[in-house]
Structure formats: C-alpha cells, structure tokens
C-alpha cells in the first residue's frame, strides 16, 4: 500500500533549532504582547521585504480585517473584490460593515480582471481588495491607475504571495497595504500568523493599537480595538522558518517543474501561467480540467486521486458570492469566469518535502483519467 499524500504539509525547522529559539522564553517568562521575538521577526521581515513597515498578527484573517478597518472607509461603502478566494477575503470586508462588489477574474491567471473594474465603480465605491491568488500577481499597475483616478484605497490580499516579487519588487509594497498569511499551510509559516505591510508612517501606531484593544498608552484606551497580537512562540517559529525559506522555495520549484513536465500541453488541461517579470514562490499548483477535451471532469479526477490516497483540493470552490452566509444576496452569474474556473479547478499536492517520485505517481493517476 502506497503512503497517503495530503494537499500540503507544513514546513518546519529542526526540533532542536526551534527549542534553541524558544529557550530564552523560559528564562524571561515573556510569552506575548510584542516581546523580543515579535520585534525581531518584524525587523527581519521589513528588511527581507524591503518595505517600511510590517505589523504582525495572530493570523492572516485578523490582519486583513484590521487593515481594512484602518483605511477608515465609510460604513456601507462598496469594496470591489473577487469571489475566487478563501472565505477570509469576503468576510473581512463584510465584518467591517462594508459591501463587497464582486468583479470577475481573468481566465489566464485567475486574478481580478482589471478591464471590468471601472464599470463596477459607483459613488459609494471606496476601496479595492484584490487577491494575488495562488501567488499569481494581480495587474498592480492597472489597479494603481484606477485607484488614483477614482480616489480609492487598495488593500491586497497577498495571503498566498509571500516571497513573490514583481519586477524585482516584493508584493509587500503595492497598494496602501498588503496582507500575508503565515498559516501552517503557507510557504512561510508562524504556525498561525499573518502580517500587514505598508509604507504610511501614520498607520504604525493605529495598527498596533488596533491589535491591542485600542490601548494607546498606559492609561489611555483610544477606541474599541480587538486582540490580534502574534505571540512569542509563533514569532520564534517564523524566525526559524525564515532561515530556510530560500531552500524551501527551491524545492517547491523542483516539484512544480516536475508537474509541468508531465501536464503542460496535455489536451483539456490548463495550468497556471508562468507570469512575466514575476519571481514565484510556487505556493499552489492549480489545474483546470476541461471535461470535453480531457474526457474526465475535475470531480472524477479528484475521486481517482482520493482512491489512490492523494488529497487534492478544490481551492476555490464554491465561490464566496455563493456562500449560504449571504442568503442569495449576490449573483455568481455576474462573475462567469470565476464560476467556470471554480467548477473545474483542482489544486494538486505541493510542499517542499513532496518527493518527485510522488509527483510522478500523482501525474500518472491524473493522466490515467484521460479518455
Ligand atoms: N486570504 C486568502 C486568499 C487565504 O487563502 C487565506 C487562508 C486567508 C486570507 C486567511 O489567512 P489565515 O487567517 O488562515 O492566516 C487552509 C488554511 O487554513 C487557510 O490558511 C488557507 N487560506 C486556505 C486556503 O487553506 P483548509 O481548511 O483547506 O486547511 P486544512 O486544515 O484542510 O489543511 C490543508 C492541508 O494542510 C491538510 O490536508 C494537511 C496540511 N496541514 C494542515 C494543518 C492545519 C499541515 O500540514 N499542517 C497543519 O497544521 O484551509
């Protein structure tokens, strides 16, 4: 019986390395509330990403919720975003009392279709929340042009795009702010965790207060904030994992190249493009199946993989604009490309330790489905 393969597997440092990193926490008894590890990781990330400011969070979702709140948008304002994403993106908008307006994605790299943004702008539009889905970089130049023309804020959901560069610039540097997820399933993890990256100095204190109950000083609580601080154990994990990030990306690249060598050019299979001017982090490996040409549907391929102990996932199906949570408020037919892709996409296993022989095994099962 061959071993099971899950869709991903957390990158972890050596046990000894992590123990060494957390040793001083036993001496200091300082476990959270922006301690030394938190500050160290923040400084390392500012340096690595070449961005003026990084604020660390207990998870990516709260990072996104907080930074959207920090944009000071009008209650009920409209925020243009895409439905082809994890629940977090849409929820962060709605939980801020804002209204998501869903823009379609483009069929090539699955990011927001910038040719469709302007027709969605009304006098209530206040922001755009695009998603660098799978680590594919959005058309940041066009988004910047539109935002400037209409006076809109831009907050990128860059949950998948840590370590990705466009024209040599980190994805941390675009828009008013970018959010990264450091969840266990991401290219770089702090167990759970997240960050907001930005250049506006005025946001530093605001974001720090927001993630700490609105406490502005020892005797001043300036507003009703929540609690979203990254703790010292998370930060220590990040410090360790950062040392191995480059090596992890090299291994992921080899996995992706092996997948491409088998699946690229197969009739009925569409792969994510290799984007021009982009340094990838090889975060996800989505495959879109055209049943008519391939001879098997996405669901049939997924079932065949499952029968062979291989856990592929439907990231991202269903679309967020179809969630029961929204009681039919949105019409997914207005985002037809996203709807089409979400019914056909399958994300294959990808992590740094995935053996190339396992990639061979996965591709064999997929290609055996072809009729
Ligand atoms: N925006 C976007 C676009 C996102 O994709 C996400 C998160 C966010 C925002 C919010 O960021 P966070 O608040 O999560 O930091 C996973 C992740 O939980 C989630 O972080 C991620 N996106 C989403 C795309 O995927 P599930 O429900 O698919 O995870 P789960 O538990 O099924 O795990 C998937 C596989 O990962 C498992 O089969 C094995 C492996 N795994 C999982 C865990 C929990 C590990 O190897 N170690 C682990 O600790 O959501």
Give me the residue spans of the domains in the chain.
Answer: 15-243, 245-368
Q: Ligand 1 centroid vs 281 CA: distance in angstroms?
A: 17
Rounded-to-integer distance, Cα 117 and Cα 78, Å: 12
Q: Which two tokens stand for residue 316?
A: 């991202």
What CATH code would you report for 15-243? 3.40.640.10
9 CB near ligand 1 (under 6 Å): yes
Rounded-to-integer distance, Cα 366 and Cα 307, Å: 12
Residue listed under structure tokens 């400084």: 43
Cα angle 226-232-233, degrees, rounded to a multiple of 5: 115
Q: Ligand 1 centroid vs 185 CA: distance in angstroms?
A: 5
Residue-wise pLDDT for 304-321, tens only, equals 999 999 999 999 999 999
Cα angle 330-331-334, degrees, rounded to a multiple of 5: 125
Q: Ligand 1 centroid vs 183 CA: distance in angstroms?
A: 6
- Res 1: pLDDT: 67
Nearest partner of 265 among 133, 363, 339, 138, judged by Cα: 363
- Res 21: pLDDT: 98
7 CB near ligand 1 (under 6 Å): yes
Hey, what long-range contacts does 319-322 have (CB within 8 A, 24 or more apart)?
A: 319/83, 319/84, 320/83, 320/85, 320/86, 320/87, 320/89, 320/90, 320/100, 321/83, 321/90, 321/100, 321/102, 322/83
**Which residue numbers in the chain have pLDDT < 70?**
1
DSSP assignment string, 4-72 = PB-S-------HHHHHHHHHHHHHH---SSS-HHHHHHHHHHHHHHT-SEEEEESSHHHHHHHHHHHT-
- Please answer whether residues 346 and 286 qualify as being in contact, where contact means their C-beta atoms are separated by less than 8 angstroms: yes
194 CB near ligand 1 (under 6 Å): yes
Nearest CA to ligand 1 atom 17: 185
89 CB near ligand 1 (under 6 Å): yes
DSSP state, residue 133: G
Q: Please, is 76 exposed, middle or buried when counting C-beta atoms within 10 Å of its C-beta (0-12, 13-18, 19+)?
A: exposed
- Res 2: pLDDT: 83
96 CB near ligand 1 (under 6 Å): no
- Res 93: pLDDT: 98
Q: Ligand 1 centroid vs 8 CA: distance in angstroms?
A: 9
DSSP assignment string, 331-355 = -GGGSHHHHHHHTTEEEEP--TT--
Rounded-to-integer distance, Cα 319 and Cα 368, Å: 29
In this structure, what is the dihedral angle of CA atoms 220, 225, 228, 229, given to the nearest 10 degrees?
-10
Does the domain formed by 245-368 have CATH 3.90.1150.10?
Answer: yes
């Amino acid at each position: 019986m061959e071993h099971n393969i899950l869709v991903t597997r957390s990158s972890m440092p050596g046990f000894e390395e992590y123990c060494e990193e957390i040793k001083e926490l036993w001496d200091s008894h300082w476990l959270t509330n922006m301690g030394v590890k938190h500050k160290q990781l923040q400084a390392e990330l500012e340096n690595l990403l070449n961005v003026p400011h990084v604020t660390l969070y207990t998870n990516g979702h709260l990072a996104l919720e907080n930074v959207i709140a920090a944009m000071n948008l009008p209650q009920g304002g409209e925020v243009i975003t895409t439905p082809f994403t994890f629940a977090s993106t849409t929820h962060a908008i709605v939980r801020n009392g804002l209204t998501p307006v869903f823009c379609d994605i483009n069929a090539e790299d699955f990011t927001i279709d910038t040719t469709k943004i302007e027709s969605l702008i009304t006098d209530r539009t206040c922001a755009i929340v695009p998603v660098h889905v799978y680590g594919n970089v959005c058309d940041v130049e066009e988004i910047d042009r539109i935002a400037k023309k209409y006076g809109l804020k831009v907050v990128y959901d860059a949950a998948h795009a840590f370590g990705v560069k466009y024209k040599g610039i980190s994805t941390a540097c675009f828009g008013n702010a970018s959010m990264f997820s450091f969840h266990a399933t991401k290219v770089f993890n702090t167990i759970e965790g997240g960050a907001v990256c930005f250049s506006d100095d005025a946001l530093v204190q605001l974001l720090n207060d927001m993630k700490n109950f609105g406490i502005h000083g020892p005797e001043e609580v300036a507003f009703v904030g929540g609690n979203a601080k990254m703790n010292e154990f998370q930060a220590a994990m990040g410090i360790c994992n950062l040392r191995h990030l480059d090596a992890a990306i090299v291994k992921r690249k080899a996995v992706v190249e092996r997948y491409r060598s088998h699946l690229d050019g197969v009739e009925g299979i569409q792969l994510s493009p290799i984007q021009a001017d982009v340094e990838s982090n090889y975060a996800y490996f989505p495959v879109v199946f055209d049943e008519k040409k391939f001879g098997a549907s996405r669901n049939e391929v997924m079932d065949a993989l499952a029968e062979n102990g291989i856990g592929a996932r439907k990231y991202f199906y269903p679309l967020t604009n179809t969630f029961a949570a929204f009681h039919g408020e949105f019409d997914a037919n207005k985002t037809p490309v996203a709807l089409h892709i979400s019914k056909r996409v399958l994300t294959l296993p990808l992590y740094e330790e995935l053996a190339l022989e396992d990639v061979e095994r996965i591709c064999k099962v997929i290609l055996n489905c072809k009729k």
